[in-house]
Structure 1
Amino acid sequence: MSFDAEAKMQFLFALRSRGVTDARTLRAMEKIDRARFISGSVFAGRAYEDMPLPIACGQTISQPSVVGLMTQALEVEERHKVLEVGTGSGYQAAILSLLARRVYTVERYRRLVDGARRIFDELSLTNITAFTADGSHGLPEQAPFDRIIVTAAAEDPPGPLLAQLRIGGIMVLPVGQSDTVQSLIRVRRSEDGFDYEELRTVRFVPLMEGLGRD
């Protein structure tokens, strides 16, 4: 299935109807074809449906409306340096790469990182750097970050990630127990500390420590 004009129009309409209204976010999601990130999968024909889909290593590619809502909640600007924890298929990082100056993405499964890198190369997305590492520790050698997005749920915002957020920065992540409904929250760092805002309920795979076995 190709991202033809009709499929694209329906895809964008579904995003808007679910609250994704930021123009830059919508333009980026129009340019990045979700099907590229699940090609070869038995679910490839459902690439433009608003639903999460299984990928390798027991992970998922998030539903497009959640990707869009998390992206617009980040308020990414062109000069920002962004950290993504949980590369997965690479779809979220690809969208962020069209909005930010630089994207660093971390994933505990080497197989997923290798697959995402191949797609980034095919799409000439040269401002993404992908690492196989324990994302719960962030990337201290590249900190601080203007924006941080976490695509797996922790019980609380991880301390190392909060520490790597620049003053004035924003982090968006799901928080909650892995077997219950989680809350998507936005954290803003100020000179005085951190402000927390609950955005909506979500369901994500849990944030795990250590490297995964592919």
Structure 2
Amino acid sequence: MKDTHKHQGLRNQLVKIISEKGITDKNVLNAIAAVPRHLFMDSGFVDFAYQDKAFPIAADQTISQPYTVAFQTQLLAIKPNQKILEIGTGSGYQTAVLIEIGAKVYTIERQLELFKKTKFFLPKLHYKPKKMVFGDGYKGLPEEAPFDGIIVTAGAPIVPNALLAQLKIGGKLVIPIGDEVQIMTLFVRNSEKDFEKHELGEFRFVPMLKEKN
């Protein structure tokens, strides 16, 4: 499958849609315009790749709605070369958007089928995370901490303390919290023990699961 002028045109339309919904960060919009979302989707959904909707991928997971990807990424306010931990690699689309912006991405996936597929696929598109791990996102990656930002791409019933602990001072955690419906929540680490919390509206995500094995 190729990335054509037609696909680029569709991405430009998508950028217009999400900017009208309130995404203003130029780096985020440029990344959405650059990453070929259709290549991250199962062939049956390719024709819908540039609609602002979530779609199923392998292992009962989804590729997030572009607006949601952009919204979460904008909250991180990433600067080039910052260390970002992603919980839930999934299809790799969010990973690619982060790398496109210039982040050094560390990413964890707990579905083995998705992990194997995405680890093989991302480098083919020249998107290379610093580290891609099969494991439990609740634990984060303490050996690589601290991080400038942590992004959770699945609904979490609680905020994992391990993730808060792995933020740098000034670092940000973006996490959707809740069961049926999630509240997008931003934590900013102001000091060793002080975290600022912002709640930013309702979203729907697949649930964040603990490692089965």
Shift of 1:186: 0.7
Amino acid at match of 2:199: E
- The Cα of 1:122 is off from its aligned counterpart by 1.1
Deviation, 1:195, is 0.7
**Residues 169-193 of structure 1: per-residue CA shift (max 9 Å, x gap):** 001010012x2x2100111001151
* In structure 2, C-alpha distance between the alignment counterparts of 1:105 and 1:160, rounded to whole Å: 15
**Aligned position for 1:182:** 182
User: 3-state SS of the aligned residue for 2:59?
Assistant: helix
Report if the CA contact (8 A) 2:11-2:32 is conserved: no
User: Which whole-Å deviations, capped at 9, do the CAs of 1:14-61 have from their partners, x for residues lacking one?
Assistant: 111111111000111111011110143x11211100111001000001
Write the letter of the residue equivalent to 1:186: L
**TM-score, length of structure 1 as denominator length:** 0.92
Name whichever of 66-75 and 10-19 sits farther off: 10-19
1:147-171 Cα shifts (integer Å, max 9, x gaps): 0000111122111101111111001
Question: Does the residue aligned with 2:208 lie in a helix, a strand or coil?
Answer: coil
Take 1:62 and 1:101, find their aligned partners in 2: how far apart are those partners? 19
Q: Aligned partners of 1:134, 1:195: CA distance in 2, in Å?
A: 25
Percent of aligned pairs sharing the same letter: 39
Matched, 1:50 2:66: no
Q: Look up the SS of the partner of 2:185 in the other structure.
A: strand
Give the one of 97, 107, 110 matched to 1:108.
110
| TM-score in terms of structure 2 length | 0.93
Q: CA RMSD in A?
A: 1.6
Using a 3 Å threshold, how does the CA distance of structure 1 residues 105 and 211 change in structure 2: closer, same or farther? farther
Partners of 2:57 and 2:37 lie apart in 1 by: 13
Paired with 2:42 and 2:59, the residues of 1 have a C-alpha distance of 16
Superposition map of 1:161-172 within 5 A: 161-172=163-174
Structure 1 unaligned segments of length 5 or more: list them.
Answer: none
Contiguous gaps of at least 5 residues in structure 2? none
**Does the Cα contact within 8 Å between 2:109 and 2:135 map onto a contact in 1?**
yes
Alignment match, 1:81: 83
Whether contact under 8 Å (2:95, 2:129) holds in the other structure is no
C-alpha distance in structure 2 between counterparts of 1:104 and 1:23, whole Å: 23
- TM-superposed CA distance for 1:211, in Å, is 4.0
- 1:8 and 2:11 equivalent? yes
